[in-house]
Chains A and B, each alone.
Chain A
Amino acid sequence: MQAATLEFRHVHKQYPGADKPAIADLSFRVEAGDICVLVGPSGCGKTTAMRLVNRMIDLTSGEILLDGRSVMERRPAELRREVGYAIQQIGLFPHRTIADNIATVPKLLNWDKTRTKARVEELLDLIGLDRSLGRRYPAQLSGGQRQRVGVARALAADPPLLLMDEPFGAIDPINRERLQNEFLRLQGELRKTVVFVTHDIDEAIKMGDKIAILKEGGHLAQYATPSELLMYPADKFVEDFVGADRALKRLALQRVRDIDLWKAATVRTGEDSAAAKAKLADADLPYLLLVDDRGRPKGWLSDRALSGERIVEDLRSSADPIVEMDDILRDALSDLLAADTRYGPVVDEAGAVRGILSLEAVGHALAATGGHVPTATELARESAAHDGRATADGLSSGSGSDLARS
C-alpha cells in the first residue's frame, strides 16, 4: 500500500479530570514516506499524541488528517487495522506462535490462508528471522527477536502508516543500535510513513527525517529536520534538550562521502620518484600514500623511499586508520582520534583510495553547515568524551582500532 500523509491541525487533548491539557495546539505535517520522530522529556505527551492518530484515545479538538481524511470520521477498529502499531512492551501474544502473531491483522481482515501464509514468510525474511522460527512461541525467542516480530506484526497488512512508541526502549544498547540500523534499512525498502516516539535525542537524530520536539504540556517546541534542529535550535528548551554537544551530534548526520575530502598523493612501487614528488605539489597533504596495483592503501612512504630513482616500498607508517566512504562522520573521526593521527585514507567499496579524511576536513564540514567551528584541539577534547558512546554503540565500521579497544 502507498505511504500516507499525516497532518495534525491545532490538536488539543485534555484527559477527563485533568486540569491541564496533555496536548496543546499541536500542528505539524508528515510527508508520505518520512519518519517523523516525536521526542521530548517523559510525560510531555508523546504517547498521547501518537495514540490520538489511531484513536486509542480521542482528541478534544482540532483535526488529525490521514491522507487528507479526518481520523474522527473513521471507525476505530477499521482505522487501527490500517495503521501499524508497535509499542515498547511489544505485547506479543504468548499463547500464539510467532507466525500467528504476525498474522493477527491479516486474520482480522479475513485474508485467505495462502495469502496470509505467504505474507508471514515474506515478513520473517524481511526481519531476518529464519522461517522455522514461525512455529515457535514468543517465550522461545530472545528480546531482540521479539522486538523484530513486534515490528513485523505491525507491518503485516502493509499499512501506509506505522506508529511506534519507544519500540527499542527496553533493549540493551548494542541490540538497540542493531535494531535501529535494521529498521532504517527496512524503511529504505518500504518507504512507509512512520511516527516514531522516543525520549532519546540521539535516537531521534538518527531515525528521523523530521523531528517534533515536544515540551511539558504537549506544546510543540520545534519541528524541523535533524540538522536544522542542531544548527538552529528554536529556543533555550530545544538547545538544552539537544545538548551542549549539538555541533558534534551533527557529525552523526553526515557520512564521509558527504564532505569535501583532501586530495591524496598516491604512488605505486616502481614509479618514477621525480614524478611522485611532483604529485605532492598538487595534494593537500605533504606525504605520499603507497597503494597496490588495485589502488588499495598500503602505507605512508618515508623519505628514504624517494631517495632512489624509483620508489621502493619503505614505509614510514601503516595506512591505518582506513575510512570508508559510507562511514558516519562521527565514527570516522573517532577512528582518527583513536589511532592518534590527524588523517586517514578514505576508500570506496572496492577498497581503492578516493581521498584523505583529516581533522581539518571534518572541522571544515562542520563550519560549512554553520555554527561555531571547533578547533582541532576542541574537537579532540569533545570527541574523546563522545568516543565512549560511539564505541559502545558498535556502530564503527572503519578500521577496527577503537573496536579492538572496547
Chain B
Amino acid sequence: MSGLAVTPVLAQLSDDFFGDRQGAADRCPGNNELCPGWIVDNFTDYLNPLWEHVLLSVIPLAIGFVLATGLAMLAHRYPKLAPPFLAFVSILFTIPSIAFYLILINVTGRGFATAVVALTAYTQVLIFRNVLTGLREVPQGTVEAAQGMGMSSRQILFGVELPMALPTIFAGLRIAASSTVGIAGFAFFAGAGGLGQSIFADPRFRGNVVAASVLMILLAAALELAVLAVQRALTPWQRAVSR
C-alpha cells in the first residue's frame, strides 16, 4: 500500500480490480466450469452492477443527446463550427476509454461523475454527426416552401428540420446506445462500478464472465430497442410509408 500516499485514487483502484478473484471460483462446484446453477444462485450479485451499468449508459446518453443536439443545431446555423468540434470529439473518441478514464481521474477525481463525463464525451461524435447530417439533408425545396409561407427560422428549425431529421438522429442515437454500454464496461477504471467490474473481479471464471457479458449484451440490445420504440412513436409518417 505504498502508493496510497502518492495517489490514493489509483492504489484503491488496484484493490478493486482483483478484490475477490479467488473467492468467486470456489463457489462453483465444477471449478471454473460454466455452471448455470451457479449463475442462478448468484444472480442477485449482478443486480447492483447491472443497475450501475444502466445508469452509466442512460445518463451519458441523455446528457450527450441534449448536448450534441444543441451543438449540432448551432453548427447548422453557423456551419464553420462543425469541423473543429467534430475534429475535437473524434480525437476523444479515438482514445481508448481505459486510457481516457485513467487520465481523467487525475483531473476530476475518481467516481461516477468522472465516468459520466467520459462517456458523455464519447457519445458526442455519433449523435452530433447524425443530427447535423439529418438537418443538412432536409431538401432545400422544403425549407424554401416553409420560408415562403412565412415561417420564422425558429419555426422552421423546430417544426420542419428537426422532425424531418429524426430518423437520422435516432440512427445515431441507437449506435451511441450500444457503444456506450460497451465503453461503460471499463468505467470501473474510473471507480464507477458496472458490469465490467464484475467481469474483472474474476476474469478466469467462466460462469462469472458469461453472466456479466450476457447482461451487457442484453442491456445493449434493450437500449437499442428502446430507442427504436421511441423513434417509431415519434415518426409515424415513416411507418405510414412502408405500409
Contacts and interface: CB of A to CB of B under 8 A. Distances in A.
Contacts of A223: none
A89 B143 CA distance: 11
Contacts of B139: 89, 91
A85 B164 contact: no
A136 B150 contact: no
A256 B148 CA distance: 41
A105 B240 contact: no
B171 to A, nearest CB: 16
A153 B144 CA distance: 14
A104 B160 CA distance: 11
Contacts of A94: 142, 164, 237
B240 A108 contact: no
A87 B240 contact: no
A80 B147 contact: yes
Interface in A74-124: 76-82, 85, 87-96, 104-105, 108
A89 B150 contact: no
B141 interface: yes
B142 A89 contact: yes
B203 interface: no
A81 B155 CA distance: 14
Contacts of A61: none
A108 B149 contact: yes
Query: Which of B144, B163, B237 has the largest count of A CB atoms less than 10 A from its CB?
Result: B237
B141 A139 contact: no
B156 to A, nearest CB: 10
Interface residues of A, number: 31
Contact of B141 (A79, A91, A163): A91
B187 to A, nearest CB: 37
Interface string B129-144: 0000000000111111
Contacts of B148: 54, 56, 80, 85, 87, 91, 163
A140 interface: yes
Given A89-B140, A89-B145, A140-B240, A105 B163 contact: no
A93 B141 CA distance: 10
Given A94-B164, A136-B240, A139-B240, A108 B151 contact: yes
B152 interface: yes
A183 interface: no
B146 interface: yes
A40 B6 CA distance: 81
Contacts of B155: 108
Given A78-B150, A105-B150, A91 B145 contact: yes
A28 interface: no
A93 B149 contact: no
Nearest to B239: A137
A80 B155 CA distance: 14
Contacts of B235: 95
A168 to B, nearest CB: 15
A94 B147 CA distance: 16
Contacts of A105: 149-150
Contacts of B40: none
Contact of B241 (A56, A88, A137): A137
Given A54-B148, A105-B150, A90 B141 contact: yes
A137 B237 CA distance: 6
Contacts of B141: 87-91
Given A92-B145, A136-B240, 20 more contacts: A54-B148, A80-B148, A81-B150, A82-B150, A85-B145, A87-B144, A87-B145, A88-B141, A89-B142, A90-B145, A91-B141, A91-B142, A91-B148, A93-B142, A95-B237, A104-B149, A108-B149, A108-B151, A139-B237, A140-B241
Interface of A: 54, 56, 76-82, 85, 87-96, 104-105, 108, 136-137, 139-140, 150, 153-154, 163
9 closest residue pairs by CB, A with B = A89-B141, A91-B145, A85-B148, A80-B150, A81-B150, A91-B141, A139-B241, A137-B237, A91-B142
